[in-house]
Structure 1
Amino acid sequence: MDGTNLIIDCDVHPSASKERPLDPYVPVAFREALKQGMAAGPGQGYANPFGVDRRDASCNDPQQVALDHLDKYGISYGVLQPPGLGVSLTHNIDMGSALAQAWNEWQLAEWLSVDLRYLGSVCVNTSDPKRAVELIHQYGKHPQMKQVIVSGESVDLYGHRRYFPIFAACEELGLPFALHPGREGSLRSSTSVGRPSSYFEWHTGIPLTYQAHVISMTCEGVFAAFPGLRVVLVEGGIAWLLHTLWRLDKNFKALRSTTPWLKKRPSEYILDQVRLTTQPLEEPENPEHLAQVFAMIQAERTVCFASDFPHWDFDDPRRVFPRTLSSELLQRIFYDNAAELYGLPTRAKKEKEGGEVTS
């Protein structure tokens, strides 16, 4: 962590447990439906053969996670990515919205109340936009709820106008709209030309989902219509964005008449309004190549650190970045970019409070 001493981790995965179950937070009217299996969703079909979690870590006890993760690495804030991020895929729409509410209540009671360093994500059912907006207003005003979270798999690409009320609510409350993978392939193939045959293939291809959503949101005018909206792409990699920016700008020269709502180059909208997390970070043989990618995507404002704790591809903040990156850039990635994104105390304020930790 050379050159930085404050960290915001944008990807921490809490899980329900016997001690902290979800069931008590499900609205009373839906508990019987839950028992009857009404929370079912489409199967995705890809599982890590070795398990998703590390064998030496778990994330079901907020006090233990504070010791094993926040304290150990000097993390000022950890952004929770709750299991409820995939509720939009629940077959029964009302049950999906009830589960979204339950996961929000669960976060408040079981995690956010335990340690102020935990930041929550508002779960919504995008198949029920009206109720999703209500939940955003209900939970998004809590000081520790810092974003709205959904799955990368969706009924429609996120540029579709059915989602505009959700984006309007996010913009109104200043909450980023975050995408997280995990259920790609549930509704259709996770690639445009056929289904992968293994978790290895599926996991490697996750950036395809994000590329499709970013292109859709740009061309359909989401960023133009909601200039205050910020979109966070969690666990989707980094380098793919370059190709997408270049191709969009190239095609815009000839096809801009088909998107009259775009008043500037697509890349300008994306660099202004899209943020990416580092995990899983590409690891080229020549570290300088990664530094070049960072420069070209303006990482000093677009990239935020994420560890993916406690999953198998966890990134240790002490070792994740090439030593050639400047201390100024590391400060931006480790803390400043996310602090600005989520409206958190500035670096100067944290250091004044004694928030610094040693490398």
Structure 2
Amino acid sequence: MLLDADIHQRWSDDKAIVKYLPERYQDDGIVAPELLYRNPGGFLKQDEIPKNGGKPGSDIEKIVEDHLDRHDIDYGMFTGNSWFNLAALPNRDYANELARAYNEWLIEECLTVDERFLGSMYVAPKAPQKGAKLIREYGSHPQIRQVMLPGGAEVPYGRPQYWPLYEAAEEMNLAVAIHPFSEGHGTSNPPTGAGHPNSYIEWHTLLGTYYMGQLASIVTEGVLVEYPNLRFGFIEGGYGWLPHFMWRLDKNWKGLRSQAPWLEEKPSHYIRKNVWFASQPVEEPEKPEYHDQILEMMHADETLIFASDYPHWDGDDPMWGLPPMDEEMERAIKFENAMELWDLPANPSELN
């Protein structure tokens, strides 16, 4: 079986979202900060442009035919439009209403197309109490399996101000996913500890460092102690950095336990138990055997899930995206780990 953790569907026209906005925002439409860094090759596969026009990912039926059916995918997780940067908007109420409008569109016009689709509902991180209400409102839908947070935020995600979101997600048995969206633009912080990069190659290469900051915050602030059944997914931020990160955090914890007295186990224990990482972009070390070592060191049989990043041109094909590995490891990455992350039945027809 095969589960794809990252499928980017999008609307063909802003009207698809705007019609779900309250009247006071109808004239505003969708106003979201743009990514400051441009990929010279663009972001989308041009051979996925729908026959009737529009951008790749805007024809849900085409995603079924060209991706789910072609690759025999049992479940595909919708992660939405990568530039919908709700954490980078200064107006909390507007961002929350955009999240609600997106969730309505997701349920009404995307998830109904095929039972194999799963949905990542959106919230506005700056409005955590309102976001918690959205989680309880939409989280009971059987195909909604996770809450999406953008990678960039004003303060790290371990801070107690975000905990209402986590309480609601745990209550509704939803995972919380973090995906690159708003790093370095709008009201979010610079995307690196050194400040704003000069180019896309810097920005994209350093996404993993942003994830390190978020994960360190979530673990050391005690989120996974307060909410022991909460599950996190880190999507599209790489995974080769994880072994070093866990080693360093564990080492520092041994000498600095007084700064996180709520951690009864070493930090890597909580990561291996409660956090998963998506495979795209797949690491490409100098020698193939180095990748095997990365998988072993990060306990990939417990922590790694497959993601294609469809329909981005630099995504990973389900047939060829992963390097060769033993059958047990491949089964865990392509199926078993994601089943645990999203608490899924083996057959999509059993979701309802």
TM-score scaled to structure 2, two decimals?
Answer: 0.93
Counterpart for residue 113 of structure 1: 112
Stretches of structure 1 lacking an aligned partner (at least 5 in a row): 1-5, 354-359
Distance 1:109 1:20, change over 3 A: farther
Report what 1:356 is aligned to. Answer: none
Q: Residue type matched to 2:160 in 1?
A: R
* Shift in Å, 1:302: 0.7
Aligned length, in residue pairs: 339
Greater relative contact order (Cα < 8 A, sep 6+): 1
Query: Which residue is 2:315 aligned to?
Result: 314
In structure 1, give the amino acid aligned to 2:58: N
How many angstroms apart in 2 are the aligned matches of 1:207 and 1:124? Answer: 22
Taking only aligned residues, the RMSD between alpha carbons, in angstroms, comes to 1.6
Query: Do structure 1's residue 24 and structure 2's residue 24 form an aligned pair?
Result: no
Q: Note the residue ranges of structure 2 that are not aligned, 5 or more in a row.
A: 49-55
Amino acid in structure 2 at the alignment position of 1:46: Y
Query: Structure 2 matches for 1:1-359, cutoff 5 A?
Result: 6-18=1-13, 21-32=16-27, 34-35=28-29, 40-57=31-48, 58-83=56-81, 86-186=85-185, 187-323=188-324, 325-346=325-346
Matches of 2:215 and 2:143 in 1, distance apart? 27
- After superposing the two structures, state which structure 1 stretch, 19-28 or 218-227, moved more: 19-28
Q: Distance in 2 between matches of 1:128 and 1:19?
A: 23
Provide the C-alpha distance between the structure 2 equivalents of 1:234 and 1:122, rounded to a whole number of angstroms. Answer: 15
8 Å CA contact retained: 1:124, 1:132:
yes
- The 1:336–1:282 alpha-carbon spacing in structure 2 relative to 1, beyond 3 Å, is same
Q: Secondary structure at the match of 1:75?
A: coil
Equivalent position amino acid for 2:131 in 1: A
The sequence identity of aligned pairs, in percent, is 40
How big is the shift at 1:19?
Answer: 9.4
Q: How many Å apart are 1:54 and its aligned residue?
A: 1.1
Q: Single out whichever of 69-78 and 292-301 deviates more from structure 2.
A: 292-301
> Residue 194 of structure 2 aligns to a residue in which SS?
coil
2:154·2:189 contact (CA, 8 Å) conserved in 1? no
TM-score normalised by structure 1 residue count: 0.91
Is 218-227 or 18-27 further displaced after alignment?
A: 18-27
Q: Report if the CA contact (8 A) 2:96-2:123 is conserved.
A: yes
Output the amino acid matched with 1:232. G
CA distance in 1, matches of 2:259, 2:23: 49
Distance in 1 (alpha carbons) for counterparts of 2:195 and 2:132: 34
CA contact (8 A) 2:33 2:85 kept: no
Q: Distance in 2 between matches of 1:234 and 1:85?
A: 16
Shift of 1:223: 1.0
**Structure 1 residue 283: Cα displacement:** 0.8
User: Cα 1:257–1:18, aligned 2, differ >3 Å: closer, same or farther?
Assistant: closer
Q: Aligned AA for 1:146?
A: R
CA distance in 2 between counterparts of 1:246 and 1:30 reads 48
